[in-house]
Structure 1
Amino acid sequence: MAQPGPSSVRKATKQNQKRNVHKIKKSVLSRQTVEFLDKTALEYVPPDDLRAFSDLPMSDLTKKGLKKSFFVEMTDIQSQSLPISLKGKDVLGAARTGSGKTLAFLIPVLEILYRRKWGPQDGLGALVISPTRELAVQIFEVLRTIGGFHTFSAGLVIGGKNLKDERDRLSRMNILVATPGRLLQHMDQTVGFEASNLQLLVLDEADRILDMGFHRTLTALLSHLPKSRQTLLFSATQTKSVADLARLSLKDPVYVSAGEEEATPTSLEQHYAVIKLDKKLDTLWSFIKTHLQSKVLVFFSCCKQVRFVYETFCKMHPGMSLMHLHGKQKQMTRLAMFNKFTKTKHAVLFATDIAARGLDFPAVDWVVQVDCPEDAETYIHRVGRTARYESSGKAFLFLMPSEEEGMLAALKTKNIEINKIKIKANKQQSIENQLQNLAFQDSEIKYLGQRTFVAYLRSIHLQKNKAIFKLQDLPVDRYAASLGLPGAPKIKFLKKGTSGKNVSYASQKVDDDESDSGSEGEEDGEEESKAAADRPKTKYDKMFGRKNQTILSSHYGKLVEQGEASTSGSNVGDKDEDEDFFSLKRVDHDLPEDLIEHSGLSKRKIQMMKSKKALAKGGPRGTKLVFDEDGQAHVIYEFKDVKDVDVEYDGVEFMKKEMGKMQRADVDDKAVAKEKKKEKKRKRKDRERDERGDDTGPAVAPPSDDDGYVSPAFDLPSESEDERTRFDAPPKKKSRKGDEPTATLEMEEELALKLLRR
């Protein structure tokens, strides 16, 4: 092999030197660029007309990402918060939904880590916490879009995904977008996951995080994070809980607000109509049929409603694409629905409030709220899915007569003006008969309708604002008919007393949601509660004043009442019509008197004699009984009457079953013997190969994903073959001359019958 000459060696040396000099110059330039950016950001004073992203003191990599994603001009919240957050200060931001809060915290995440030369070996540098999985996925996609020119590693940690796969990649992430529950799970369980070097924490939709019950989770997360960090907290509504969270997590924050005087954008047209409960589905169907070229987002109160409307409307074929999104779906299904509705031009998405926060569905024409939102903040977030940025949109709210006054007053406190419209009767199409036909033909639709009925009434019952949500004013019978149900399932809710904590046990009544004659019970409850409030509170009053203490008591009392009615000879057939929807019948079975009563003994003595200890010592023992489908008691080893037994038929059936068992066992034995023979043959061949000195060895099977279980090398008979083997007789064998005739099935049956008759 020829050695390189002196000239080629000198040439390679010069190239390496040039390469090293280039690296040194590049590192010096990058260091100078970072120092310049730091100095510029700290001294930057934004002008009054700041609008372009290019005017901000940012790196060229971030500007390229923004330009590639067609982000040129800033919104109000971005122009006010970015100059502050780029200086490394804590920000408490408040802006209406759809104002561009995502870029307001993602740009500082990229810039802060870039200026501090964050690398893979530095670990987790920025953490973004989102309330819902869909919003976390959306934030992560925006981060990938604008941060494509940076070299940071980013990860998404949400519930519903494989925990083990997340653990393997978690330690290599520089930026993490996560939901609170899964993040806390990793912090507690994943080995090697540390956030001690965290530089920046972002809390998006902080009010929603707290409303979903993550206050304790957030407190636990903050205890794992270093205090020397920058924190950005953004929310559409500023509540007391958000202010408390800001005091805990932010250090000398700068408050930034944009559009706070207007809860909804001016480009949004807002309408409402007064619609009775039993006419809501008719109105929704008519609305969809008249807006087939629109993109519509429809909100309901609970998951059961979303699923019922989706299943029934799909069977009725309105003429456009229908989708549904709710919290009971699996994670991959939710993401698929989210992406499908995002890319579709004309469609209807039925959703719960899981889609009301932060999600950016492009070009939504209408937001229809079939069920009244729980408060004005929820209304703001729902209608915020349309008229985002500079686009326009329309919102339509269904209000029942009992909800109109209270909801309009709540919206007025947020300076929201909403116009009332009246729906023409000739434009509305009734679908009650169609829903009844679907419920009659498909039992699953009927069952889902019953669950929808229960879930909606429960959601109204659990609402806090009783000035808006009045359960006693709902026409439940007509609502059940509008769902296609043959009758209204009866549901009972526990009614709390009116005097708060000073309510005695006697004042707690079980109130039927359909009964209109409850005034006497309410007056009695008020009088008893006043009497209980006048006397000193005892430990029993405190015990009965606890929450949830009557959850099972009404159910147990109902069972006892039914049992007493059945033992007293009441007509059970008349009582069936008044039974609760989800209730059980109690039947008291007659037992021998000598097992219950003993002359001359007290009740305590009788109970002691019935205990396990007394029975073990030879006390009176009962008889073990079994109950049939009609509820009748029988002795466990009860013999049938001779008249009810057909000896000849039972003997034939017995012989058929035994023959089938023997034939199946014969098939299994032959298969096992065949496998043993194959194994023996394989060992013999291996032994012969070793004796010949062949060192090639046995053939090695290719690796597979099998779990190690080796199935038998024979085919099981199909179901039809199994049935044929079980009941058919084996084929007759042809006998030769001089041989004895072979026994047939008829001969064996005749022999068995003779034995049984003896």
Structure 2
Amino acid sequence: MTTFADPSTFPSVFEAPVPATTDETPAETSAEAPTKTFAELGLAPELVRVLSREGINAPFEIQAATIPDALAGRDVLGRGQTGSGKTLAFGLPLLARVAQGGRAKPHHPKALIMVPTRELAMQVADALQPLGRSVGVFLKTAVGGVPYDRQMDALRRGVEVIVATPGRLGDLIERGACNLDEVEVTVLDEADQMADMGFLPEVTELLAKTPEHAQRLLFSATLDGDVDTLVKRFMHDPVTHSTDPSEASVSTMDHHLLLIPPQEKFPITAAIANRSGKTIVFARTQMGVDRLVEQLRQVGVRAGALHGGKTQRVRTRTLAEFKEGRTNVLVATDVAARGIHVDGISLVVHVDPPKDPKDYLHRAGRTARAGESGGVVTLVLPKQRRSTQAMMGKAGVAPAEVRVRLGDEKLAEVTGAREPSGVPVVEEPEPRRERGDRPRGRFGDRPQRSYGDRPQRTFSDRPRRDRAEGDRPQRPVEDRPLADRPRNGERTGGFRRDSGQRNDRREGTGGRYGARPARTY
């Protein structure tokens, strides 16, 4: 089982294995070795060249530690916080192994990557697709919120690696579109989050459908509780590598607890959201996210909403706008947050403090990625102070407490808050896609014949029917006698008198069937 992490930067230290203390506890490594390159870790030259083009020349600690064992075919447990480089840690050895086995059969992928959210699945696929193309490995995502047709068609043609969420993968298996009996490598990314989200029964069922002795890579921020259950059931003599969780989650970011008066919660939130730089704001519910975004737009803050109630098309567009800088503020729920891997986020704001320390760390992990610095701010009302302090203590965080009010210099110093413009943001309609941007069919681009290129037939070149009398000249309109036609009151046949008896009959015209009585009115 394995997981994916963010592939952005890569300083690394190779970790040497330490003997296990008990038979049931996997061997865990500690990091104290000279830095190695990706080539020295045993990766194929094609993969190394693609990494070099992307500016990735040195592996991160978790990558340097896990890649050699994964290339050797061992089951691997990787523990590291968000942004530690887990995506390439399992993605590179997976691609290297799958590339050695040739093309996949229809409906039978050779590798499986399971992730908790659609956004994470798409970002994992985006990170690995350029690498996969270099070694002839085709990847496909299988997530909810999008039609089945393309996913089923790709599986029918043959997909080496499928990146999927548990729910959609189960649906594809039930429809007969996917079979896991030839999977060689299985990865669980963010395994602890999948357990927290209630996916453990589905994950267990899907893992049971993979071959018993297939390689399994599992990456997670924590390796306890439900994750430990998966390890004991499905992994064989795994080796464990971990980064220092305290260093990854605390020292690279500043934590502040802002004690605020209840009546100023939204004005303070709006001032913080109006800061320069990318900001993620977390709310507890989907309704709370939508309401907060609407309020922020009313005061002039351009914000986007991201939660599970949005369609996949809207979620993808909102996340793209945030990445590209068209929207500086993203308001999200916890579930959606677990798929957000965006570089350059400088501040995380908890409008609603989480109750679970894991949720706090997952939220905070959106900033200070890959060793960069970032800030985490939690807005706390007087009645929330004690419970929030206890939660953060369990998370291993010691925040600086600051009592602030709207307009305080300390608020601007900690968060960069500034007063919004007050001019409502006008929702811009989504631009229509040009015809040239539409995907073409399987036969490529075909030239379209314009109307001016088509030969125009005139009446003169149409074939005429054979007539015994030839072509009759058309009689001009002015030659037609009009005055001699019977008028309404002068009809000579076909009408009835009051007695109901027919007064007169028009003579039949004598067609091919003989004389017919005149039509009555």
TM-score (norm 1): 0.49
CA distance in 2, matches of 1:403, 1:260: 27
Is 1:301 matched with 2:284?
A: yes
Q: CA deviation at 1:190?
A: 2.5
The Cα shift of 1:346 comes to: 6.6
Q: Which residue of structure 2 aligns with residue 67 of structure 1? A: 52
Q: Distance in 1 between matches of 2:307 and 2:403?
A: 30
* One-letter amino acid of the counterpart of residue 275, structure 1: I
**1:121 Cα deviation after fit:** 4.1
Amino acid at match of 2:49: K
CA distance in 2, matches of 1:184, 1:277: 45
Summarize the Cα distance change of 1:121–1:426 in structure 2 as closer, same or farther, 3 Å threshold.
closer
**1:394 to 1:47, Cα distance in 2 relative to 1, 3 A:** closer
Aligned mates of 2:284, 2:207 — CA distance in 1: 32
2:403 is the counterpart of 1:422: yes
Which residue number corresponds to residue 212 of structure 1? Answer: 197
Give identity over the alignment, percent: 29
Would you say 1:50 and 2:38 are equivalent positions? no
Letter aligned with residue 203 of structure 1: L
What displacement does 1:690 show?
Answer: 12
**What one-letter code is carried by the residue in structure 1 that aligns with 2:290?**
R
- Quote the Cα distance in structure 1 between the aligned partners of 2:59 and 2:396: 26
8 Å Cα contact 1:51-1:73 kept in structure 2: yes
> What is residue 240 of structure 2 aligned with on the other side?
255
CA deviation profile, 1:562-593 (whole Å, cap 9, x unmatched): xxxxxxxxxxxxxxxxxxxxxxxxxxxxxxxx
- Bigger RCO (CA 8 Å, 6+ sep): 2
1:77–1:258 CA contact under 8 A, matched in 2: yes
**Cα distance in 1 between the residues matched to 2:312 and 2:406:** 41
Check whether the contact 2:138–2:161 (CA below 8 A) recurs between aligned residues.
Answer: yes
Task: Find the partner of 2:222 among 237, 240, 260.
Answer: 237
C-alpha deviation, 1:426, in angstroms? 4.1
Distance 2:65 2:91 in 1: 15
Q: Is the contact made by 1:180 and 1:218 (CA closer than 8 Å) also made in structure 2?
A: yes
Contact 2:268 2:406 in 1 (8 A): no
- Residues 134-533 of structure 1: pairs in structure 2 closer than 5 A: 134-171=119-156, 172-191=158-177, 193-262=178-247, 264-289=249-274, 291=275, 293-318=276-301, 321-344=302-325, 347-427=328-408
Distance across 1 between alignment mates of 2:193 and 2:207? 17
Q: Mean Cα displacement is larger for which, 387-396 or 125-134?
A: 387-396
Distance 1:359 1:288, change over 3 A: closer
Give yes or no for contact 1:262–1:415 (8 Å, CA) kept in 2.
Answer: no
Which digits, 9 at most, give the CA deviation of each residue in 1:243-280, with x for residues without a partner?
01111221111111111343514221111112244432
Give unpaired runs (5+ residues) of structure 1.
Answer: 1-44, 439-688, 694-735, 738-758
Change (3 A) 1:90 1:110: same
Q: Distance in 2 between matches of 1:243 and 1:162?
A: 35
- Find the aligned partners of 1:391 and 1:426 in 2 and give their Cα distance: 29
Once the two structures are TM-superposed, the CA of residue 421 in structure 1 deviates from its matched residue by 1.4
1:430/1:101 CA distance change after superposition, 3 Å: closer
The letter of the residue matching 2:255 is Q
C-alpha deviations, 1:614-641, integer Å up to 9, x for none? xxxxxxxxxxxxxxxxxxxxxxxxxxxx
Q: Which whole-Å CA distance do the structure 2 matches of 1:51 and 1:412 have between them?
A: 37
Contact 1:263–1:380 (8 Å) recurs in 2: no
Instruction: Give a deviation string over 1:632-684, Cα, whole Å, max 9, x none.
Output: xxxxxxxxxxxxxxxxxxxxxxxxxxxxxxxxxxxxxxxxxxxxxxxxxxxxx
CA distance 1:178–1:426, change in 2 (3 Å): closer
Displacement of 1:125 after TM fit? 1.0
Give yes or no for contact 1:237–1:377 (8 Å, CA) kept in 2. no
How far the C-alpha of 1:59 sits from its partner, in A, is: 0.8
Distance (whole Å) between structure 2 residues aligned to residue 425 and residue 312 of structure 1? 17
* Residue of structure 2 equivalent to 1:489: none
Q: Which consecutive residues of structure 2, in runs of 5 or more, have no partner in the other structure?
A: 1-28, 412-416, 425-462, 468-487, 490-521
1:329 Cα deviation from its structure 2 partner:
0.6
Instruction: Report the alpha carbon displacement of residue 404 of structure 1 after superposing the two structures with TM.
Output: 1.8
The SS at the match of 1:394 is strand
Q: Taking structure 1 as reference, are residues 368 and 130 closer, same or farther at Cα in structure 2, changes over 3 Å only?
A: same
Give the 3 Å change call, closer, same or farther, for CA 425–315 of structure 1 in structure 2. Answer: closer
CA displacement at 1:223 relative to structure 2: 2.4
Q: Which range is displaced more, 341-350 or 299-308?
A: 341-350
What amino acid sits opposite 1:413 in the alignment? K
Post-superposition Cα deviations, 1:14-52, rounded to whole Å, max 9, x if no partner, equal xxxxxxxxxxxxxxxxxxxxxxxxxxxxxxx99921342
Residue 215 of structure 1: how far off its partner (Å): 1.6
Query: What whole-Å deviation, never above 9, does each CA across 1:54-73 have from its counterpart, x for those lacking one?
Result: 32111111111211222111
Q: Contact (CA 8 Å) 1:131, 1:180: kept in 2 or not?
A: yes
Matching residue of 1:117: 101
1:302–1:249 distance in 2 versus 1, CA, 3 Å: same
The equivalent of 1:3 in structure 2 is none
1:93 is matched with 78
Q: Secondary structure at the match of 1:402?
A: helix
Would the alpha carbon gap of residues 411 and 426 (structure 1) be closer, same or farther in structure 2, given more than 3 Å must change? closer
Over 3 Å counting, the alpha-carbon distance change for 1:295 and 1:346 in structure 2 is farther
Counterpart selection for 2:113 from 123, 128, 146? 128
Check 1:395–1:182 CA distance in 2 against 1; reply closer, same or farther (3 A cut): same
Partner Cα separation in structure 1 for residue 127 and residue 285 of structure 2: 30
Secondary structure of the structure 2 residue equivalent to 1:225: coil
**CA distance in structure 2 between the aligned counterparts of 1:186 and 1:690, rounded to whole angstroms:** 61
Deviation, 1:401, is 2.0
Distance of 1:69 and 1:51 partners within structure 2:
18
With over 3 angstroms needed to count, the CA separation of the structure-2 counterparts of 1:108 and 1:690, relative to structure 1, is farther
Higher helix residue share: 1
Q: What is residue 64 of structure 2 aligned with on the other side? A: 79
Is the 1:202–1:232 Cα contact (8 Å) retained in structure 2? yes
Over residues 86-131 of structure 1, what are the superposed CA-to-partner deviations in whole Å (9 max), with x where a residue is unaligned? 11100111111111111111001111112x3322448411100010
How far has the Cα of 1:218 moved from its partner? 1.2
- Residue of structure 2 in register with 1:31 after alignment: none
Q: Is the 8 A contact 1:263 1:416 kept in 2?
A: no
Contact 1:295 1:345 in 2 (8 A): no
Matched-pair contact (CA < 8 Å) for 2:132–2:138: no
Deviation at 1:143, TM superposition (A): 0.6
The change in CA–CA distance for 1:430 and 1:90 in structure 2 (over 3 A counts) is: closer
Paired with 1:52 and 1:355, the residues of 2 have a C-alpha distance of 34
Q: Deviations over 1:731-756 (max 9, x none)?
A: xxxxx99xxxxxxxxxxxxxxxxxxx
Superposition deviation, residue 186 in structure 1: 0.6
Equivalent-residue separation in structure 1 for 2:65 and 2:271 (angstroms): 44
CA distance in 1, matches of 2:188, 2:227: 11
Residues in 1 aligned to 2:466 and 2:57: alpha-carbon distance in whole angstroms = 81
Q: Indicate the residue corresponding to 1:491 in structure 2.
A: none
Sort the Cα spacing of 1:309 and 1:59 in 2 relative to 1 into closer, same or farther, 3 A: same
